[in-house]
Amino acid sequence: MALTSEQTNSILSDVKNFLRVTWNEEDEELTRMIRRSMAYFKSITGAELDYVVDERAKDLLLERCRYVYNRSAEEFENNFRHELLNLQFRVAVDERRERLESET
């Protein structure tokens, strides 16, 4: 799912609020961090997630951005293993349901 500039700005604003960043000098780097984090989630789920609608996916995105911002990305998977497995399972179930619905 390609994000519109409005969606990107909304997610950037959410990340900045979550990180308590009140300045704009880091916006470009934060946007790259968001895109890399989205690519990370796509690589572990095999799906494009909707971070605007799906609050659980958005929460994980915010948390991963926090870890990356604080130079602790290597700790994210261990600390959020349960949530990541839950996300993978939920995506797989949703894809299976969509596939079954399209076959009928």
Contacts of 39 (CB under 8 A, 6+ apart): none
What is the predicted pLDDT for the residue at 1? 57
How do the pLDDT tens digits run along the chain, 104 residues long?
578 889 899 999 999 999 999 999 999 999 999 999 999 999 999 999 999 899 999 999 999 999 999 999 999 999 999 999 999 999 999 889 888 888 87
Q: On the CB side of 45, how many CA atoms lie within 13 Å of its CA?
A: 25
User: What is the C-alpha separation between 25 and 92, in angstroms, rounded?
Assistant: 38
Domain assignments of the chain as residue spans, ordered by start: 5-103
